Amino acid sequence: MDKPIITESSIKIPSSQEFLVDVDGFLEGRLVKHGVDKGVIADIAISVTEIVNNAIVHGNKSVFEKAVTVEIKAENSEVEIVITDEGDGFDPHNIKSPIEDDNLLKEVGRGIFITRALMDKVDIDSGPGRPTRVTLSKHI
């Protein structure tokens, strides 16, 4: 795969940060279509960008041939977005808090923290030896 694969409810990209703009455009188009407020779209876009970036860099180790898939479902008053990588997983219980003294000056480790602050629900399904699946939910 050398370019995004887009359907009505999903986008699949190679593991390269150059495709983050495609994910952003895909999401914004779908959310605008569902009448989502611009402020809520911004919160969702920031959150998805953080998680997709993690999937590319940490999950798939920037191996171009591995894909990241973003699926969106908007029903009633909620948006659910599922981001899946093709990596080897991790233990979500080992995520360090970026606001602990030892982590304050680190340049990485804030994405999940930011996402949890902006979204209503963040569910991380991962474990050693299997892909990671992150589900984000936001009331619209």
Helix (H, G, I), strand (E, B) or coil at 33: helix
Q: Are 36 and 108 in contact (CB under 8 A)?
A: no
Q: Which parts of the chain are beta strand (E)?
A: 5-6, 10-14, 67-75, 78-84, 121-127, 130-139
Asked whether residue 6 carries a pLDDT value surpassing 90, the answer given is: yes
Mean pLDDT of 30-37: 92
- Residue pLDDT, tens place only, 78-111: 999 999 999 998 876 666 554 455 544 445 456 7
Q: Are 112 and 105 in contact (CB under 8 A)?
A: no
Tokens of 101: 């003294």
Mean pLDDT of 58-78: 95
CATH number of the domain within which 51 lies: 3.30.565.10
Range of the domain at 65: 5-139
